[in-house]
């Protein structure tokens, strides 16, 4: 936001929240919209917002560069980065307890990991919802819910934000965090060098982090300028200076070198539309099986 303000002169202030919280908030404020732009977090949540009529369509001229699979054809959201879901582990703790680094989803059910796994709460976190949508698409809904019920027995805590599990694993508060692996890179770079990354061999889901304009934006013109800027090579490359190590959607933008280690991650054919349209229902179902 500071870089944008410096470049354009548009005064910008930011409130940071998880994707689920943002969705709830813009719905609550829809008669009196306070914010103009929604920046970052999984596109599934933007799709859920589009379904509810909470976003403004805007096809930025800069969106022409962004490949079709990374944007909404009508311009309700446009992708700015891509992040892969996986396991951020504390290698030192696992070694001390003589536990193998988990390499599959099933490995997380290892009795030795009981009370040692952290994942965010999918009601507030887009990251944690990506986990549910991934498992439903990898297997089927019944098997996914059965697995999540068993996984619940292993969970130490469900924090509010998607990046918290990476930090907790890095600090040694848990052995494994389920989150986007670029968050693990961020904390490793900040000095949590016990972090080891692992991606499930069966395949994993991913997020397309998006930017979009909120319906009835108080500053619509400034919001459009922000979206145009966020899609540029220069803006996308800024992230790595500030601890964001995702892959980027603008083909001209150079991804962070630190993300290179994740490039061979086995990804499922993740269906964003399905994930977005079924968000409320699947989160509700998760609540039922884990309570």
Name, in order, each residue with C-beta under 8 angstroms of 55's C-beta and a sequence gap of 6 or more: 38, 46, 49, 76, 77, 212, 213, 214, 215
Residues 4, 8, 14, 18: what is their CA dihedral angle, to the nearest 10 degrees? -50
pLDDT of residue 236: 97
- 37 forms beta bridges with 213
- Residue 198's nearest CA partner among 269, 270, 130, 266 is 266
pLDDT of residue 113: 98
**Mean per-residue pLDDT of the chain:** 97
- With beta carbons less than 8 A apart as the criterion, state whether 118 and 165 touch: yes
Cα angle for residues 39, 84, 262 (degrees, 5° grid): 125
CA-to-CA distance for 186 and 166, rounded, in angstroms? 9
The parts of the chain modelled with pLDDT lower than 70 are none
- 197 forms beta bridges with 88
Structure token digits, residue 3: 């870089």
CA-to-CA distance for 97 and 76, rounded, in angstroms? 48
pLDDT of residue 227: 98
Cα angle for residues 110, 42, 73 (degrees, 5° grid): 135
- 82 forms beta bridges with 208, 247
* pLDDT tens digits for range 151-161: 999 999 999 99
pLDDT of residue 102: 98
pLDDT of residue 88: 98
pLDDT of residue 204: 98
Main-chain dihedrals φ then ψ at residue 264, nearest 5 degrees: -95, 15
Q: What is the pTM of this model?
A: 0.92
- Residue 178's nearest CA partner among 159, 202, 153, 150 is 159
pLDDT of residue 199: 97
pLDDT of residue 253: 97
């Amino acid at each position: 936001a500071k870089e944008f303000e410096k470049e354009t002169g548009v005064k910008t202030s930011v409130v940071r929240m998880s994707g689920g919280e943002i969705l709830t908030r813009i719905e609550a404020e829809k008669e009196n919209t306070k914010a103009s732009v929604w920046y970052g977090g999984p596109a599934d949540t933007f799709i859920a917002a589009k379904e509810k009529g909470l976003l403004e369509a805007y096809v930025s001229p800069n969106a022409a560069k962004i490949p079709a699979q990374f944007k909404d054809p009508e311009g309700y959201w446009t992708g700015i980065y891509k992040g892969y879901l996986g396991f951020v582990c504390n290698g030192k703790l696992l070694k001390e307890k003589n536990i193998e680094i988990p390499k599959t989803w099933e490995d997380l059910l290892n009795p030795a990991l009981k009370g040692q796994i952290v994942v965010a709460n999918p009601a507030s976190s887009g990251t944690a919802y990506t986990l549910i949508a991934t498992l439903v698409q990898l297997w089927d809904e019944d098997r996914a819910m059965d697995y999540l019920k068993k996984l619940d027995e292993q969970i130490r805590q469900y924090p509010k934000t998607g990046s918290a599990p990476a930090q907790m694993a890095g600090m040694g508060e848990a052995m494994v965090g389920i989150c986007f692996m670029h968050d693990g890179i961020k904390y490793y770079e900040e000095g949590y060098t016990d972090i080891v990354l692992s991606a499930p061999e069966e395949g994993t889901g991913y997020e397309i982090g998006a930017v979009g304009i909120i319906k009835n934006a108080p500053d619509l013109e400034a919001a459009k300028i922000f979206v145009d800027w966020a899609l540029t090579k220069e803006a996308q490359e800024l992230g790595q200076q500030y601890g964001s190590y995702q892959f980027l959607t603008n083909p001209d933008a150079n991804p962070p070198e630190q993300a290179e280690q994740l490039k061979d991650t086995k990804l499922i054919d993740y269906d964003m539309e399905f994930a977005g349209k079924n968000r409320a229902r699947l989160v509700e179902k998760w609540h039922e099986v884990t309570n």
